[in-house]
């Protein structure tokens, strides 16, 4: 059934607009979780691939109909699972335009505008986070790739100090590269290291305290043996507790031992942009590299991660590719020199729009508002005899332990509680484990969440917990 829209010029734009409006109108009030089962989704999406293709209107209407019940309202105000974040209106608009403009942000020549926007965004971010002015920046898909890219540069720089050119010679026969991370390092740091040829078992683990912060005294013990070819992976913002490693103390140690300090600040680095929370990140400007996501707390639509390093020359030497058809520009910035990808989406536009719409004060307020709402959630849940708050409320993460009824088991209670909350639909949260104990994790990272959203969600969680 061809739609009337097919008659228009650019029918896809009007249709996408109508479909998007319907989605956004429902977003704040609909059930947060998905409504369809995997079987139902396979059924509605698995049509035979047609010979002749279909009109645009039909394709878009049928796609939106078929996926509807399998979409999660994670862009909405009461999704508290993982650390997700939604889409700020300005960023969402710019993201649409990015698709329409369809720029290839590989080199200056393929999109001068994308290249310069990335330059400007990079300077704004370095300034917001309070990093050294010479900090180099690359835009990648997410925290995983930001960690990977930063660690690639770290590997290059650390091995170079021992006279080893890893890009030319590879890892076989290289000087021993030590990598240190805490017990609480994010899983993506370990996968990034594995991509670099550094297997999980060879990563030296440092002990953490009861909030998941790396213990500086234990790092000192580990580094004791010498640190020149050592990379230390620290964390700003633990996914369970929101806690920060003591970066200033770690930086002092890594400097003394000549080691490279990397900070995984996928969401936590944004705290540096808030005067009220900045002290949590004290010392970050002394690190060698940082990973952060714009698609989490900055509320830019997926995908959007950022890698930053204090060593532009090492950064460029690690990633610059040359090919006969790439004429290197002298005065212009070629984005591909700072990331592992060549052709890619011009991610800078949405970050640019988000930062312009919020301003410095708006970014700080977004961070502070989410933290205040998380504290409010913790306060509401503390009233329940079945729930307890396990973390110090330093940021936007609430870690909830359970007290099951007599004879009940914590693991089962947590699992049932999470699935009951998810099914009921007011909000969405996920189970986790904290230092061996089953728990629920709540992350407040959406720009549109209000106090009323917190209150109805806390009530729904307490109802499911039975008090």
Q: How far apart are CA 231 and CA 249, in angstroms?
A: 16
Nearest-approach distance from CB 366 to ligand PLP, in angstroms = 17
Packing angle of the helix pair 348-382, 112-129 (nearest 10 deg): 40
Nearest-approach distance from CB 15 to ligand PLP, in angstroms = 30
Which residue sits closest to ligand PLP, CB atoms considered?
143
Within 8 A by CB and 6+ apart from 137, the residues are 118, 121, 122, 125, 126, 306, 307, 308, 338
Give the per-residue SS3 of the chain. CCCHHHHCCCHHHHHHHHHHHHHHHHCCCCCCCCCCCHHHHHHHHCCCCCCCCCCHHHHHHHHHHHHHHHCCCCCCCCECCCCCCCCCHHHHHHHHHHHHHCCCCCCHHHCHHHHHHHHHHHHHHHHHHCCCCCCEEEEECCHHHHHHHHHHHHHHHHHHHCCCCHHHHCCCCCCCCEEEEECCCCHHHHHHHHHCCCCHHHEEEECECCCCCECHHHHHHHHCCCCCCEEEEEEECCCCCCCECCHHHHHHHHHHHCCEEEEECCCHHHHHHCCCCHHHHCCHHHCCEEEEECCCCCCCCCCCEEEEECCHHHHHHHHCCCCCCCCCCCCCCCHHHHCCCCCCCCCHHHHHHHHHHHHHHHHHHHHHHHHHHHHHHHHHHHCCCCEEECCCCCCCEEEEEECCCCCCCHHHHHHHHHHHHHHHCCCECEEEEECCEEEEEEECCCCCCCHHHHHHHHHHHHHHHCC
Under a CB-based contact definition with an 8 Å cutoff, are residues 211 and 392 in contact?
yes
Tokens of 454: 């917190």
Residues found near ligand PLP in the complex (CB under 6 A): 83, 142-144, 186, 188, 235, 237, 239, 264, 266-267, 293, 305
Neighbours of 423 (CB within 10 A): 11
Nearer to ligand PLP, 186 or 257 (CB): 186
Tokens of 396: 């936007």
Nearest-approach distance from CB 208 to ligand PLP, in angstroms = 14
Nearer to ligand PLP, 126 or 294 (CB): 294
């Amino acid at each position: 059934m061809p739609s009337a829209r097919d008659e228009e010029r650019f029918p896809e734009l009007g249709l996408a607009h109508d479909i998007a409006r319907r989605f956004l109108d429902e977003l704040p009030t609909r059930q947060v979780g998905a409504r369809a089962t995997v079987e139902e989704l396979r059924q509605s999406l698995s049509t035979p691939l047609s010979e002749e293709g279909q009109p645009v209107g039909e394709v878009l209407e049928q796609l939106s109909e078929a996926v509807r019940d399998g979409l999660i309202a994670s862009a909405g105000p009461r999704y508290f699972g993982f650390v997700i974040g939604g889409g700020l209106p300005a960023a969402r608009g710019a993201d649409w335009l990015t698709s329409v403009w369809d720029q290839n942000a590989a080199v200056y020549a393929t999109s001068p505008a994308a290249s310069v926007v990335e330059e400007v965004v990079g300077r704004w971010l370095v300034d917001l986070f309070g990093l050294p002015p010479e900090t180099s920046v690359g835009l990648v898909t997410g925290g995983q790739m930001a960690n990977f890219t930063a660690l690639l540069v770290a590997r290059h720089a650390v091995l170079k100090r021992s006279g080893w050119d890893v890009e030319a010679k590879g890892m076989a026969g290289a000087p021993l590269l030590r990598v240190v991370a805490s017990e609480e390092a994010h899983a993506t740091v370990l996968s990034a290291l594995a991509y670099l040829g550094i297997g999980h078992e060879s990563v030296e683990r440092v002990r953490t305290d009861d909030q998941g912060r790396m213990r500086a005294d234990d790092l000192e013990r580990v580094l004791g043996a010498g640190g020149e070819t050592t990379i230390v992976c620290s964390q700003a913002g633990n996914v369970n507790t929101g806690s920060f490693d003591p970066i200033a103390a770690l930086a002092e140690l890594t400097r003394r031992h000549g080691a490279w300090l990397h900070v995984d600040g996928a969401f936590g680095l944004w705290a540096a942009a808030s005067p009220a929370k900045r002290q949590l990140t004290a010392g970050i400007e002394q690190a060698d590299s940082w990973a952060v996501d714009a698609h989490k707390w900055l509320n830019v639509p997926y995908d959007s991660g950022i890698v930053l390093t204090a060593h532009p020359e090492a950064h460029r030497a690690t990633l610059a590719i040359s090919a006969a058809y790439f004429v290197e520009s002298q005065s212009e910035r070629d984005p591909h020199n700072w990331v592992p990808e060549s052709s890619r989406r011009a991610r800078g536009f949405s970050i640019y729009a988000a930062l312009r719409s919020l301003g410095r004060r708006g970014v700080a307020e977004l961070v502070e508002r989410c933290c205040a709402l998380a504290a409010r959630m913790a306060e509401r849940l503390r009233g329940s005899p079945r729930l307890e708050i396990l973390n110090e409320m330093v940021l936007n993460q609430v870690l909830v332990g359970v007290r099951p009824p007599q004879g009940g088991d914590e693991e089962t209670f947590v699992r049932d509680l999470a699935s009951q909350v998810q099914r009921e639909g007011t909000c969405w949260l996920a189970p986790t484990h904290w230092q061996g104990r089953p728990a629920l994790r709540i992350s407040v990272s959406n720009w549109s969440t209000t106090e009323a959203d917190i209150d109805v969600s806390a009530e729904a969680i307490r109802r499911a917990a039975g008090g």
